[in-house]
Amino acid sequence: MEVEYDDSGWQGRAKQQSSAEETHEDNPQKTIQECLEKFLTPDYIMEPGIFTQLKRYFQSGGSPEEVISMLSENYKAVAQMANLLAEWLILAGVKVTEVQAMVENHLKEMILKSFDPKKADTIFTEEGETPDWLTEMIDHYTWRSLIYRLAEEYPDCLMLNFTIKLISDAGFQSEITSISTAAQQIEVFSRVLKTSIVKFLNNPDDVHGAIQECARMVCHGQHTYVYSQVLIQVLSQEQKGGFNMKRLSQEIIKYALQNNQNVTPITMALNGSAVYPQACQALTSMLTRNTLNPADITVLFRNYSGSDPPPIDLIRNPQFLELLVDALFRSGVKINPEHKPKYIFLLAYASSVIDQPAKKRPMTERTLNKDELKSTIQAIEKAHAICNVDQGSTELIAELQTLYNCIKYPVVGVGVIRWIENVVMEPSYFKLSTDSCPTHLAVLDEVAGVHPTLQQQILFLLIRLFESKQDELEILVQLEMKKMILDRMVNLLTRGCVVPVLRYIKQCCAIEDTDISLIRYFVTEVLETITHPYSVEFVQLFLPMVENEEITGTMRGEGDNDPVSEFIVHCKAHFITI
């Protein structure tokens, strides 16, 4: 059921209210009695509806002396006393901002305790239009934040929903972080969704955070998910930036699956797979069960190896690709040798074939570019053969050149990361490793250099390793292991993954759960690696660590010739605002 929140709607209610009041005007005594009951309430003279009630009272023949007496006797001056007390506090030396915060916070607490949504809705029926005080109220963040909290507690309150719309109309939609609040009205949700998408597009250094925020909002409910995905699907058809929107859509699907939300029927309905019933049924079956099976893989293989294959977008489903990568690169997964080529073919097809609709010919005709399909299949086969064998670092060295050649293909890079993650996260891995840098982690360095888009995945893996408990190792061995992982992070930094790495190390400094010698080691390595010019964001993240006496105090010399002093002097000279 759709609810409209506009002034005419409230005015309509006011007309109904006024017509009800007219029936009471036929009975003056009843009207007078109603007014007197209101006049008896404390501080009623301060109420917004006082003039309306006085008018009714006098029109019904009420006594002026009586109303003056009642309003005077029941005038408690609560608001005026609060103002007077605030003035005394200021005279006593308390800062104006502190007094204002005290009054506002107390008011917020009182409102939160005593708020009545039914009474709030009557505000509009009494005034007949948007009250001026409400328009003024939303100009201040303090009161907007109160509205957000109340709207979460009372989602069905029309007055609060209308106020949320006013806030959104005023351009403060970026503040509406509560999904349940935004999802109440399509106009508000659309603005909040737009703000979230713009943040995703404009923040390349924090893509993961922007995606998580957007996906959390989209996956709030079925209605928000369908609406958002349809909108993003339309935007993904645009030539300029359409691929970014397609990626966002896939990340949202991935987020939904991680939170155990079955969005497969919606995904299949939006990707046009119904035209290809065999492929659609096989894919839906596997996605719903979240597992691959040879029968459905064979159906897809037969469809995509034929002369008129379905659109490639059908198998470029994040969940399906994850399942294929897991099957081929995760240790311990056994695939029937008879069906293995079909798995490899589908993964290679999804990652290398270019499927474009013809521009001038009918839209049903497509151009398929399969130039890289054969070489991609060969690369996956070779990489799978290496990764599928349980071998240590020494045995792997002999296969490195072959593996490095295969890693040039992005899909192999993804698979190799999955394989290495499986190997190095084993509790006994570092216990058995004697190398200063295990071969598996050296392979990660290669992947980071060849595929910048996979650096974020590699960083997440390194963070998991850095934070993992290695209680079986001696303390000194643990420190050496973590220094080696920091070396891998520095390598990522030199490859272009600068801000995410620095943000993580800054977080380690803030939490203070990391040995200070490790932070010092990282700072030393970075200072030896970098040179100016520096970006403002880099200086904002790195300079506080370099200036920290606890971290770099022992690294400084008597003059300004050491790397620490040189970096600080350079930043102070070129970044005045820092």
Residues 334, 347 contacting (CB under 8 angstroms)? no
Token pair for residue 146?
Answer: 């109160």
C-alpha 109/C-alpha 102 separation (Å) is 11
What is the identity of the amino acid at 156? D
pTM of the model: 0.68
Crossing angle of helices 242-258 and 186-202, in 10° steps, is 110
Residue 347's pLDDT is: 95
Closest CA to 416 of 451, 377, 437, 444: 444
Give residue 279's Cα distance to chain centre.
33
pLDDT along the chain (578 residues), means of 10: 42 45 64 85 82 84 85 84 88 88 85 83 69 79 83 78 78 66 72 84 79 85 87 86 87 87 84 82 89 92 88 87 92 85 94 72 66 93 86 72 92 93 83 74 91 92 89 83 92 91 90 86 91 88 89 75 84 70
Q: What is the 3-state secondary structure (H, E, C) of 320-381?
A: HHHHHHHHHHCCCCCCCCCCHHHHHHHHHHHHHCEEEECCCCCCCCEEEECCCHHHHHHHHH
Token pair for residue 41?
Answer: 């309430």
Closest CA to 153 of 185, 178, 176, 133: 178
CB atoms within 10 A of CB 130: 17
Which contacts of 253-261 are long-range, i.e. CB under 8 A and separated by 24 or more positions?
253/317, 253/318, 253/319, 254/215, 254/318, 254/319, 254/322, 255/211, 255/212, 255/215, 255/216, 255/219, 256/215, 256/219, 256/225, 257/290, 257/318, 257/319, 259/219, 261/219, 261/225
List all residues 6 or more positions away from 519 whose beta carbon is below 8 Å from its beta carbon. Answer: 505, 508, 509, 545, 551
Residue 409's pLDDT is: 94
C-alpha 552/C-alpha 521 separation (Å) is 10
Torsion-angle region of residue 290: left (phi > 0), alpha (psi -120 to 50) or beta? left
Residue 396's pLDDT is: 76
List all residues 6 or more positions away from 335 whose beta carbon is below 8 Å from its beta carbon. Answer: 327, 328, 343
C-alpha 448/C-alpha 361 separation (Å) is 41
Maximum separation of any 2 CA atoms in the chain, in Å: 105
Token pair for residue 80?
Answer: 């005026």
